[in-house]
Structure 1
């Protein structure tokens, strides 16, 4: 799979930078796909999510209270945007402190469901972000990607091709 990290300028501001993953085969980001998949059934929840992202980027930064942790493996940064009490949508992210968030995909998670592994769609979205987090870590260790001096952005080789990286 070929993909690249892209900054979402609409949500990024002086407090945090919001990125997503642009999938070459689909010609859209994971976040765009998430919006399209859920707009018919969960429009009000999507409005809440986009408002939260705007707040994170422009006003507050990526505060811990906005995220549900322990969605990935220790140290990978995979988390979920914290939902409002009656929300049924789960949006997976990779959080780098309070300054950078990478949006992935997600989907419907009923309140009675104990873990995302009970839903194939959520499991696939979560495991994809885990792989992307691992790819980014590898690039950082190899000095191919780094943070800018203000830690608000990534710089370097932001284009990934899983076939080449193996």
Structure 2
């Protein structure tokens, strides 16, 4: 099947689903074909919660929140139903940081706030403010503070410098 707009064959996986195989930068933005990109996170990896947190933190610290989002998304999709809200909210925080670092002030702030709201709601519903050692109240403060800075048009935040600490 061809992509008519570009004249290129569409990238497909083994099952025939469309996939974009273009290389990407550290914030997940597509680069031109043939460019040197950052290795993508494999999709669909099932990790223990502690592994998810450790891998996501390492990616956040490296300034790769887009990739951390993918790790959280794997946990969201493969974890128990009662934890999906936790992992979804953490993924939203990572995407919020990604958009903020890309200069998307409205989208970044909105996703940071959505993630913070999701964490608070999940903690209140479950009575677990520190699941797997993750300090949800501190993440709420981090996200709302960064959202305000982004909306106030502070300089575009550097993803690594502004990465949250998931555990104290």
Q: TM-score, normalised by structure 1?
A: 0.31
Structure index of larger Rg: 2
Higher RCO (CA < 8 A, seq sep 6+):
1
Q: TM-score, normalised by structure 2?
A: 0.31
Larger % of helix: which? 2
